[in-house]
Amino acid sequence: MPDTTARAGTAGGTATRILQLLQEGPGLAGELAAELQLPSNRVSSYLHQLAKTGRVQRAPFHGPDERPSVLWSLQAVPHE
């Protein structure tokens, strides 16, 4: 039987590392992937999952080349 505990720990660790990077400021999936040395499609998948849970948010972004992209940032937590 495969060891899913190791994979789950790695997945949680990657999500935590993404959140830590976003604490430094917004970023593009490709930038985060380069920093984490992971494929950008894997980082994008994590970002979409984090967005579903309300931990990160996305905003349209156009860089210097005018190609549309997505800028990811931490979701603001409302103060009570």
User: Predicted confidence band at 7 (pLDDT cuts at 50, 70, 90)?
Assistant: very low
Q: How many domains does the chain have?
A: 1
Per-residue model confidence as pLDDT tens digits over 26-66: 999 999 999 999 999 999 999 999 999 999 999 999 888 88
* In a domain? residue 80: no
- Give domain status of residue 18, yes or no: yes
Q: Is residue 60 part of a domain?
A: yes
In a domain? residue 8: yes
Residue 79 lies in a domain: no
Average pLDDT for 16-23: 96
For 32, other C-beta atoms within 10 Å of its C-beta total 20
